[in-house]
Structure 1
């Protein structure tokens, strides 16, 4: 189950998993769009889900569990970025005191509370099944404390802390929790177009493919409480094997 799977990192991961043979449920706020995107992937299904809404989360998890016959892996990915509160956040950062309260709440409710709500709904089912994997998508450390990055930075810092506590709470249960992040600015549409012309190089969302497929594999059984940077994945894997 990949939340926020209709575009960006979510779609890249859903595509990689589907291509590797997994049966994928990808979610989005628009059920129609989720179904349309899923139709382009082998064996995938699209489910409507607003991660900020408890009833929507419960309904979506019920649907995914029923249609897939269970959930082996949850990829908590749904999120919104700085463009929702400041379209020019990289070139014209604004102080935290200038951030609209409703914008702050929307980002935190999506990027942090959303991770909590979906995991809270899925984990009891995984506990009953005796196994499961949770991958929480994060961002680079500098992004969490960059000038002008309220509320996105704090929301991602919070979701990373949440992941660590989740891992501690679930240690020894058969359910693993890990963090995965791209390792740089990515081509998700969250970066203002003018920033790209200033010599910045964007990572392709497909960078998330190899690590997410590996995390779903038998090789990743028992891997727990790790923080994996996608651009460094091959080296991380070599170091782990070495």
Structure 2
């Protein structure tokens, strides 16, 4: 993974990272802290993991830069409470990273080796994954945007996945949920055009060592998993002033080059400026 300078303009900004207790969320929350950002990390269930991250956070930036909250992104009142906590503690909200998600392990622990056909998926599991991965980012963005509009700037980053994986046999409802989130990313970016708020999708670019990967996989598969920290350098760039004209786009972390950030964009060119 290529490294990059930490944008000085991020120092003092405030970010919400949903699902911040492990995997990609943990890596991004700690990466933001190291860049001088004050972070609220949320989890619906994994509070013990958030508490462990708190010790790492204090070592990086001190206790005054970190706040861990229990919040279920599928609940409108929880989304509103997280935003209110950011404004009450630090008086601003600059960044929302929609990372919280539910994956295929809820469908079957053998999802990587045995495909579950869509009609075999438990409807309650389908609803849970869609509610978390689609409705959750909507509710969080809906709660966050008014404060960003008032400030005249903001960054929303939705964590996505490879398009090939979206279409992979047996990957319902996880694949459809991320396809919906990418559609929302493009639409929200257009809705917010001219406001100073950008909306983009960020993805690792391959299978990553997160809580969504079931235990007991063959060693050769585990060895090929990406480090969650791979998303941190492109995330910091997306949040920087250098990317203020980039909106409605996908950024693939495995393509990241510090000397050519545009190489990580999934398509040539830039989106319409915010």
TM range (shorter): over 0.9
Question: Offset of 1:145 from its aligned partner?
Answer: 1.1
Relative to the length of structure 1, the TM-score reads 0.93
| 2:175 is equivalent to residue 153 of structure 1 | yes
Q: What's the C-alpha RMSD, in Å, of the aligned pairs?
A: 1.9
Take 1:101 and 1:227, find their aligned partners in 2: how far apart are those partners? 30
Q: State how 1:77-156 maps to structure 2 within 5 Å.
A: 77-156=99-178
Are the equivalent residues in 1 in contact too, given 2:115–2:170 (CA < 8 A)?
Answer: yes
| 2:210 is equivalent to residue 188 of structure 1 | yes
Are the equivalent residues in 2 in contact too, given 1:2–1:10 (CA < 8 A)?
Answer: yes
Take 1:93 and 1:209, find their aligned partners in 2: how far apart are those partners? 31
Corresponding residue to 2:26 among 11, 15, 18: 11
Q: SS where residue 17 of structure 2 aligns?
A: coil
Take 1:68 and 1:52, find their aligned partners in 2: how far apart are those partners? 24
Are the equivalent residues in 1 in contact too, given 2:185–2:201 (CA < 8 A)?
Answer: yes
Question: Offset of 1:115 from its aligned partner?
Answer: 0.6
Take 1:192 and 1:36, find their aligned partners in 2: how far apart are those partners? 21
Take 2:158 and 2:170, find their aligned partners in 1: how far apart are those partners? 24
- CA shift digits 1:151-187 (9 cap, x unpaired): 1000111111111110111111111111100000000
- CA shift digits 1:128-150 (9 cap, x unpaired): 11111111110000111111101
Q: SS where residue 133 of structure 1 aligns?
A: strand
Take 1:73 and 1:159, find their aligned partners in 2: how far apart are those partners? 18
Take 1:105 and 1:179, find their aligned partners in 2: how far apart are those partners? 23
Q: Which runs of 5+ in 1 are unaligned?
A: none
Question: Offset of 1:35 from its aligned partner?
Answer: 4.7
Moved more, 92-101 or 200-209: 200-209
| 2:50 is equivalent to residue 27 of structure 1 | no
Are the equivalent residues in 1 in contact too, given 2:187–2:248 (CA < 8 A)?
Answer: no
- CA shift digits 1:182-217 (9 cap, x unpaired): 000000031233444354610000101111122222
Are the equivalent residues in 1 in contact too, given 2:21–2:46 (CA < 8 A)?
Answer: no
Q: Structure 1 segments of 4 or more deviating over 6 A?
A: none
Moved more, 22-31 or 63-72: 22-31
Q: SS where residue 97 of structure 1 aligns?
A: helix
Q: How many residue pairs get matched? A: 241
Moved more, 15-24 or 176-185: 15-24
- CA shift digits 1:75-129 (9 cap, x unpaired): 0110011001111001111110100000000000000110100001111121111
Q: Which runs of 5+ in 2 are unaligned?
A: 1-15, 270-274
Relative to the length of structure 2, the TM-score reads 0.83
Q: State how 1:192-231 maps to structure 2 within 5 Å.
A: 192-199=214-221, 201-231=224-254
